[in-house]
A and B are shown apart, each in its own frame.
Chain A
């Protein structure tokens, strides 16, 4: 199947066709909406820096809310921008989880009340984090699991940190199980692994650009997901630019400069299509959504709303 770049005016016939034929990321593996369940479906949105992971997370959460789902979006890197990207009112609820305080909260939760406070004040948290690699990731995932078991939401969208880290986040659980042979951390790691390996409780959505390096990194990330046994709910190719089909007519004012820009646009669009083909090749049965780039230098709730419509495709 050959990739089609959405036309520049923002209409999305091709990507919409892709989506509806292959399933939306916030659906369960059997194609139904995750409603009326005791636990939320957790979607971990992963991708390297600069691919628009936060915008796509917000768009997924917005689209899932429009589908009637009770949706929570969790930000992990402490950037406040997430709130500005979600519609005010009936949109998804937004929550920030800090890796730094999650470990302290966890130690309080498991009954180290007095100790945890002393641990925190003496800087031992840092030492515990260093001694047990991945413990920060584990407690963050543990916090997400706790939110998922709360019953208050149908879907929880997690805007994870950049790609290298996302992979280590997924492998950290198994890594900890290797080195910790007992105690509360091991129990927590086992519970988080149960969540990650259950396709009805969690899945990964990979965000990439139609460029070589991000697609290579997405390939590696998907391999990690497969190794760890996490379901992949979708791949979003973000900010794809297209080029005009018509050639620059001869004799127009500034034709030489227009032609240079036109050639560059053609060459970029061609490269982008080749990368989208590569994404389809690695995706297998996984749904691939292609989002058109907007002519903006910053995201807001309105633009994210438009991305959400693109993602929902024909069903919106």
Chain B
């Protein structure tokens, strides 16, 4: 099967989700994908869920990124109506937006936001950050200013949480243990009767009764919002699985990272999602064949070293080539550059490698 070029993904997708292991340059590559699309005339917003400031670094923004989309100047390297915007996920800001969206009254929103457990849930409940990311993507997809949303995800193990995220909070709110804490009546908390349950006493003894009381309070503030959350979860789940959403795997030319990428591709398939493309970042460039006779020991040692590295990396990437062919998905090999990418000029160079015919 002949692989489609990367341009097919970049020109048609409404959402591109970039996934990959830590340290493969995923954030920079997300920005490069977004740059390539903007240069081809699309109105693109790239959003990072990475708490580090790598997206801002790659875009050359000294002051960092905000929680709202910000226009990036691509100077004259742009075609037609193309635009590039960027934003950073701020889980706290987003949680507040989510609560205000789902709360039935202003008073309910105020109480939910004041709860101590609400304020720490982003750090404590696995998948909360990813849930907030799905909310952002959902909002941006429905924002008329953009026709493509590029999402940079956390490292691969957690990236799967993005797929599961819509269900996380719902599952938490509907947890059977909380049924116990809340009493069967649901809305009215029955802490006194709950406290007599051995299992609840046990939890209280481990984490302390104050902490437990915060959780119960949290559940009380959120009761009534479950239906609204569940409805949104269904919409978002459909969005992730829509044909217009493309999952692109970013990887490095190393055996362990390639293994992790193949593992992630399988997990995506388990979730009913097909990999839309693979990008191998920072490949050592191949050498001219043969070492020139004019090279001294220093240059000969260096060129032999470079050849060994390029050969080892080409071997490591082999299984990905096979997988991409089987999927009929494009595989882009992006050569490593002489310097880290720190500005939009560097991103344009990477973007050229992405759209170049392989």
Residue positions of A touching B, CB distance < 8 A: 8-9, 48-51, 81, 107, 110, 112, 115, 118-119, 122-124, 126-135, 162, 164, 168, 179-186, 211-213, 217, 243-246, 248-249, 251-255, 257-258, 261, 263-265, 267-268, 271, 295-299
Q: Which 8 A-B pairs have the closest CB atoms?
A: A50-B23, A49-B22, A298-B255, A133-B124, A264-B338, A252-B292, A254-B288, A295-B308
Cβ A135 vs Cβ B207 within 8 A: yes
Q: With A119-B199, A253-B292 given, is the CB distance from A128 to B22 under 8 Å?
A: no
Q: With A133-B123, A246-B296, A246-B299 given, is the CB distance from A127 to B52 under 8 Å?
A: no
Cβ A180 vs Cβ B211 within 8 A: yes
Knowing that A246-B296, A297-B253 are A-B contacts, what are 6 other residue pairs whose CB atoms are under 8 Å apart, sorted by A's residue number? A51-B23, A181-B210, A251-B294, A254-B292, A257-B288, A296-B309
Contacts of B74 in A (CB 8 A): none
Q: A-facing mask of B171-194, CB < 8 A → 1, else 0? A: 010011110000000000000000
CA distance A89 to B345 in the complex (A): 52
Contacts of B303 in A (CB 8 A): 258
Cβ A212 vs Cβ B340 within 8 A: yes
Smallest CB separation, A239 vs chain B (Å): 11
Cβ A131 vs Cβ B124 within 8 A: yes
Cβ A49 vs Cβ B21 within 8 A: yes
Smallest CB separation, A207 vs chain B (Å): 11
Contacts of B316 in A (CB 8 A): 297-298
Partner of B52, one of A107, A164, A245: A164
Cβ B51 vs Cβ A164 within 8 A: yes
CA distance A277 to B25 in the complex (A): 23
Within 8 A of A (CB), among B276-333: 285, 287-288, 290, 292-296, 298-299, 301-303, 305-306, 308-309, 312-313, 315-316
B139 within 8 A of A: no
B203 within 8 A of A: yes
B71 within 8 A of A: no
List the B residue with the shortest CB-CB distance to A299: B256
Cβ A183 vs Cβ B210 within 8 A: no
Partner of B299, one of A112, A213, A248: A248
Q: With A9-B301, A130-B172, A252-B292 given, is the CB distance from A179 to B312 under 8 Å?
A: no
| CB<8 Å pairs between A and B, sample of 6 | A49-B155, A131-B203, A131-B215, A243-B302, A261-B287, A298-B255
Residue positions of B touching A, CB distance < 8 A: 21-24, 51-52, 54, 57, 117, 120-121, 123-126, 155, 172, 175-178, 198-199, 202-203, 205-208, 210-212, 214-215, 252-257, 285, 287-288, 290, 292-296, 298-299, 301-303, 305-306, 308-309, 312-313, 315-316, 337-340, 342
Q: With A164-B51, A183-B206, A297-B255 given, is the CB distance from A50 to B299 under 8 Å?
A: no
Q: With A49-B21, A49-B23 given, is the CB distance from A127 to B302 under 8 Å?
A: no
Smallest CB separation, A100 vs chain B (Å): 11
Cβ A132 vs Cβ B211 within 8 A: yes
Cβ A297 vs Cβ B203 within 8 A: no
Cβ B302 vs Cβ A122 within 8 A: no
Contacts of A50 in B (CB 8 A): 21-24, 252, 257
Q: With A131-B215, A168-B123 given, is the CB distance from A119 to B203 under 8 Å?
A: yes
Cβ A268 vs Cβ B338 within 8 A: yes
Cβ A184 vs Cβ B206 within 8 A: yes
Q: With A122-B177, A123-B177, A271-B339 given, is the CB distance from A179 to B199 under 8 Å?
A: no
CA distance A264 to B335 in the complex (A): 12
Contacts of A299 in B (CB 8 A): 256
Smallest CB separation, B289 vs chain A (Å): 8
Smallest CB separation, B350 vs chain A (Å): 15
Q: With A296-B309, A298-B316 given, is the CB distance from A124 to B23 under 8 Å?
A: no
Contacts of A180 in B (CB 8 A): 207-208, 210-211
Smallest CB separation, B9 vs chain A (Å): 24
List the B residue with the shortest CB-CB distance to A50: B23
Smallest CB separation, B114 vs chain A (Å): 16
Q: With A131-B212, A253-B292, A295-B305 given, is the CB distance from A212 to B57 under 8 Å?
A: yes
Contacts of B342 in A (CB 8 A): 212
Partner of B288, one of A115, A183, A258: A258
Of residues B54, B198, B298, which shows the largest number of chain A Cβ atoms within 10 Å of its Cβ?
A: B298
Smallest CB separation, B335 vs chain A (Å): 10
CA distance A254 to B202 in the complex (A): 74
Contacts of A112 in B (CB 8 A): 202, 205-206
Partner of A211, one of B293, B308, B340: B340
Cβ B337 vs Cβ A264 within 8 A: yes
Partner of B285, one of A126, A217, A261, A295: A261
Contacts of B57 in A (CB 8 A): 212-213
Smallest CB separation, B95 vs chain A (Å): 14
Cβ B205 vs Cβ A183 within 8 A: yes
Cβ B198 vs Cβ A115 within 8 A: yes
Q: With A264-B337, A295-B312 given, is the CB distance from A124 to B199 under 8 Å?
A: yes
CA distance A299 to B199 in the complex (A): 47
CA distance A40 to B274 in the complex (A): 48
Contacts of B23 in A (CB 8 A): 48-51
CA distance A251 to B295 in the complex (A): 11
CA distance A258 to B302 in the complex (A): 11
Cβ A253 vs Cβ B288 within 8 A: yes
Cβ B52 vs Cβ A253 within 8 A: no
CA distance A265 to B75 in the complex (A): 29
Contacts of B54 in A (CB 8 A): 213
Cβ A297 vs Cβ B199 within 8 A: no
Cβ A265 vs Cβ B340 within 8 A: no
Smallest CB separation, B211 vs chain A (Å): 6
Smallest CB separation, B316 vs chain A (Å): 4
Partner of B22, one of A162, A251, A267: A162
